[in-house]
Amino acid sequence: MSDTDAPGQIDARGGLGQDEIATAVLRTLLYADVFGYPMTLEEIHRYLVGVAATREQVAAALHGPLLGPRLVHEQPYYALAERDLHFAQRRERGQASGVLWPMARRYAHLLAMLPFVRMVAVTGSLAVDNPRAVADDLDYVIVTTSGRTWLVRLLAVALVRIARLWGVDLCPNYVMDSHHLGMTERTLFTAHELTQMVPCYGLDMHARLLAANGWAEAFLPNAVDANLSCCIGLLPLGRALKGLAEWLLGGRLGDLIERRERRLKIGQLSSEAVNAGTLAACFGEGICKGHMHDYGRRIQSAYEERLRAAGLAPIQVDE
């Protein structure tokens, strides 16, 4: 998802709070409205906020007397009332995603060929087919073997610079190793990013990532299964080159590069994060989370504004 819109004027009071599923559907559509993102029935069911319900229960709530009049529907999408313009936007962005996905898969394949990479996943707006344009960034999450986070980041940055020569903006801005899979920022935004990501390589590691972040189930109980629509494998030549690079960089040389990059970049990037005023970035041994714009905080603020307008409070999740 991307972009934010003004909050919708929809009042959840007057009895809707008594219907748990209808209220959960409303919470879900309010979150999607932050991005100007009408949802299908299947999407509403998968990303239903805070409540585990069946597809049939969600469908009944969408067309029920409490919620139905407060929504607009243009097959196959649902949105808040007076958000009709978002239907055309969703279709336009869907067309843009059709252009971007083949490119995203190609670069995911190249990232997967880097030594010590064990998972590559597309995240951000493209993961939900909502890029602003065909020139939108390609966002990736990368998981590495233990002790090779900063070496992999160095190689990924080299690929970023090469791609830029072709007019492609790659953003592998979240790199972690297999010992740092747990995410400390436990919010609805992070739960969405986690469950929406599309693994392109490394299904076993992706399963470990989901298992390490079981807290997300409290926010999105229907979305904890893996999203497996973009899985690829390496060709024999790619596997051979990857294995050779890991053999060359698996010992002292790799350790030296890892220590050097970690020492240089943690200080540099941490300083940039302070200057940017972000609390979302995190840099350390085994993790490079370069979220310099604190996008999640802005999204959470916009969502809470919509909840207040609807007479709802954010769901409370035990730490």
pTM over 0.85: yes
Tally of domains in the chain: 2
Q: Residue 305: its pLDDT value, please?
A: 95
Residue 117 predicted with pLDDT over 80 = yes
Claim to verify: residue 63 and residue 139 sit in the same structural domain: no
Alpha helices in the chain (DSSP H): 20-33, 41-46, 55-62, 85-113, 149-165, 188-196, 203-212, 216-219, 236-249, 252-276, 295-309
Chain-centre distance for alpha carbon 129: 12
Give the CATH number for residue 56: 1.10.10
Q: Residue 186: its pLDDT value, please?
A: 93
Q: Would residue 37 count as lying in a domain?
A: yes
Q: Would residue 241 count as lying in a domain?
A: yes
Claim to verify: residue 102 and residue 159 sit in the same structural domain: yes
Claim to verify: residue 50 and residue 186 sit in the same structural domain: no
Q: Would residue 319 count as lying in a domain?
A: no
Claim to verify: residue 48 and residue 151 sit in the same structural domain: no
Mean pLDDT (whole number) for 182-207: 94
pLDDT tens-digit readout, 300-317: 999 999 999 999 988 877
Claim to verify: residue 160 and residue 60 sit in the same structural domain: no
Claim to verify: residue 214 and residue 261 sit in the same structural domain: yes
pLDDT tens-digit readout, 5-24: 544 444 444 333 348 999 99
Domain that holds residue 190: 98-294
Residue 55 confidence class, pLDDT cut points 50, 70, 90 = very high
Claim to verify: residue 23 and residue 66 sit in the same structural domain: yes
Claim to verify: residue 35 and residue 107 sit in the same structural domain: no
Residue 59 predicted with pLDDT over 60 = yes
pLDDT tens-digit readout, 77-101: 999 998 888 999 999 999 999 999 9
For residue 30, what are the CA distances in angstroms to 6, 49, 133, 173, 314? 11, 10, 23, 27, 11
